[in-house]
């Protein structure tokens, strides 16, 4: 079985990202330390599909499982507390391992539980969505607050990422779409050629080879950035392209109304819109909009309450002294950070919403 390996160096340790077809059944070969017990965290959809493969691949004496409801609403303080309670009751100790089997919701939540249980125990990411090529790498773990996305969390890199691309075959159209928004983002901060190649992709007839090539591109972009700036003091902010508005929309519309990727897609168009205005540059707005439209991304902002949306943007973690910081593009492959005043932001939001309606 062919397994690709990418190593990420973090400040605390190095970890391997293993990418292969069907590798979930070999999980025990990637769990190298002698853990006292293992706690698998997953959601109801993934449990039906892949949990038994993981359970039967483990030879440890104590393996526990928690199956949570699927969806963004699960990434919250209540399920965080429930998992801590289960970990305590099962008798997990500092030598235990958490396995996050699922998409970004499970990865972020279980990773955050691992980062705080007994002040931090090991965890492994076993991503099962396209989007999770992004969330499983880099160690950002978090839960949402009603007032804003991922506001409670930490930087806590996993011990390994085991990416079985075979599991991606069962993803719905909506989840394929969602994952591609992050891949487009990575292409945009990378270079023009990669971005143009991505725009040739038709998500309704995606081949396994194409998908793997795109995932490799996305993971490489992500891994090299987080390695250079683990705690987001500089260039890691570029991975937030499209997220200032995207996150605000997710919180404002109610977690799960739009998928994370769908919200980011709208945010990417907004970053084009505002870049063209502030940086006097010309970006392929129409081509990106057309590609999203062709691939059935929902491209409307279903809220009249711009002030409330702005309040959410003002809770973004990139902000400094209550001023909104946006990742913009000077050109494809040339991200840059700019402060946007509230007055300007309101004006840009209004003109952007108008533009979305007329296109």
Ligand X SMILES: O=C(O)C(=O)C[C@@H](O)[C@H](O)[C@H](O)COP(=O)(O)O
Ligand Y SMILES: NC(=O)c1ccc[n+]([C@@H]2O[C@H](COP(=O)([O-])OP(=O)(O)OC[C@H]3O[C@@H](n4cnc5c(N)ncnc54)[C@H](O)[C@@H]3O)[C@@H](O)[C@H]2O)c1
Please identify every residue annotated as catalytic: 119, 140, 182, 222, 232, 236, 240, 243, 247, 260
| 4: CB partners within 8 A, 6+ apart | 18, 19, 20, 216
Q: Which does 240 bind (CB under 5 to 8 A by kind): ligand X, ligand Y, none?
A: ligand X
43: contact with ligand Y by CB under 6 A: yes
Q: How far is the CB of 260 from ligand Y (least distance, A)?
A: 4
Q: Using CB atoms within 10 A of its CB, is residue 188 exposed (0-12), middle (13-18) or buried (19+)?
A: buried
Separation of alpha carbons 288 and 276, rounded Å: 14
Between 31 and 239, name the residue whose CB sits nearer to ligand X: 239
Q: Are 215 and 268 in contact (CB under 8 A)?
A: no
Please indicate if the annotation marks 167 as binding a ligand.
no
20, 138, 148, 157: residue in contact with ligand Y (rule CB under 6 A): 138
105: contact with ligand Y by CB under 6 A: yes
Q: Are 49 and 33 in contact (CB under 8 A)?
A: no
Q: How far is the CB of 17 from ligand X (least distance, A)?
A: 14
273: contact with ligand X by CB under 6 A: no
Q: Are 135 and 108 in contact (CB under 8 A)?
A: yes
Q: How far is the CB of 115 from ligand X (least distance, A)?
A: 14
Please indicate if the annotation marks 341 as binding a ligand.
no
Contacting range for ligand Y; rule: CB under 6 A; set: 25-33, 165-173, 304-312, 333-341: 165-173
Contacting range for ligand Y; rule: CB under 6 A; set: 83-91, 134-142, 196-204, 288-296: 134-142
- Chain-centroid distance of CA 62 in Å reads 30
Phi and psi at residue 260, in whole multiples of 5°?
A: -55, -45
133: contact with ligand X by CB under 6 A: no
Q: What residue number has its CB nearest to ligand Y?
A: 104
**What is the full DSSP assignment across 105-173?**
HHHHHHHHHHHHGGG--EEEEEE-SSTHHHHTSS-EEEEEETTEEEEEEEE---SEEEEEGGGGGG--H
Q: How many residues in the chain?
A: 359
138: contact with ligand X by CB under 6 A: yes
158: contact with ligand Y by CB under 6 A: no
- Which one-letter DSSP state was computed for residue 323? B
Q: Which does 131 bind (CB under 5 to 8 A by kind): ligand Y, ligand X, none?
A: ligand Y
Please indicate if the annotation marks 129 as binding a ligand.
yes
43: contact with ligand X by CB under 6 A: no
Please indicate if the annotation marks 120 as binding a ligand.
no
Separation of alpha carbons 268 and 252, rounded Å: 17
Q: Which does 124 bind (CB under 5 to 8 A by kind): ligand Y, ligand X, none?
A: none
Quote helix, strand, coil % in the chain, to nearest 5: 50, 20, 30
C-alpha distance from residue 181 to each of 224, 264, 270 (Å): 19, 6, 13
164: contact with ligand Y by CB under 6 A: no
Q: How far is the CB of 243 from ligand Y (least distance, A)?
A: 9
Give the end-to-end CA distance of the chain in Å, rounded to a whole number.
47
Please indicate if the annotation marks 289 as binding a ligand.
no
- Count the site residues for ligand Y by CB under 6 A: 33
* Positions that interact with ligand X (CB under 6 A): 134, 138, 140, 149-150, 182, 232, 236, 239-240, 243, 317
- Per the annotation, binding residues for Zn(2+) are 182, 243, 260
- Per the annotation, binding residues for NAD(+) are 104-108, 128-129, 140, 149
């Amino acid at each position: 079985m062919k397994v690709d390996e990418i190593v990420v160096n973090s400040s605390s340790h190095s970890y391997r990202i293993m990418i292969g077809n069907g590798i979930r059944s070999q999980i025990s070969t990637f769990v190298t330390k002698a853990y006292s017990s293992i706690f698998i965290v997953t959601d109801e959809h993934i449990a039906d599909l892949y949990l038994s493969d993981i359970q039967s691949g483990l030879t440890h004496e104590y393996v526990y499982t928690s199956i949570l409801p699927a969806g963004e609403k699960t990434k919250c303080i209540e399920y965080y507390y429930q998992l801590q309670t289960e970990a305590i009751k099962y008798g997990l100790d500092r030598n235990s391992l958490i396995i996050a089997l699922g998409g970004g919701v499970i990865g972020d939540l279980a990773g955050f539980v691992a980062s705080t249980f007994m002040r931090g125990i090991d965890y492994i990411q076993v991503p099962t969505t396209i989007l999770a090529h992004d969330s499983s790498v880099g160690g950002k773990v978090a839960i949402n607050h009603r007032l804003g996305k991922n506001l409670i969390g930490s930087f806590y890199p996993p011990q390994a990422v085991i990416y079985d691309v075979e599991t991606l075959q069962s993803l719905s159209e909506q989840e394929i779409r969602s994952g591609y928004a992050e891949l487009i983002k990575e292409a945009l901060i990378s270079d023009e050629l990669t971005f143009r190649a991505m725009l040739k992709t038709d998500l309704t007839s995606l081949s396994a080879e194409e998908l793997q090539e795109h995932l490799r591109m996305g993971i490489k972009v992500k891994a090299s950035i987080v390695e250079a700036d683990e705690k987001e003091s500089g260039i890691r902010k570029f991975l937030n392209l499209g997220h200032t508005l995207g996150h605000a929309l997710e919180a404002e519309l109610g977690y799960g109304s739009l998928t994370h990727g769908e919200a980011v897609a709208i945010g990417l168009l907004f970053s084009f819109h505002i870049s063209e205005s502030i940086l006097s540059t010309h970006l392929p707005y129409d081509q990106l909009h057309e590609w999203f439209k062709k691939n059935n991304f929902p491209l409307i902002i279903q809220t009249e309450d711009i002030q409330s949306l702005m309040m959410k943007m003002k809770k973004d973690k990139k902000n400094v002294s209550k001023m909104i910081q946006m990742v913009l593009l000077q050109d494809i492959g040339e991200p840059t950070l700019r402060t946007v005043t509230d007055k300007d932001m309101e004006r840009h939001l209004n003109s952007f919403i108008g533009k979305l309606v007329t296109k």
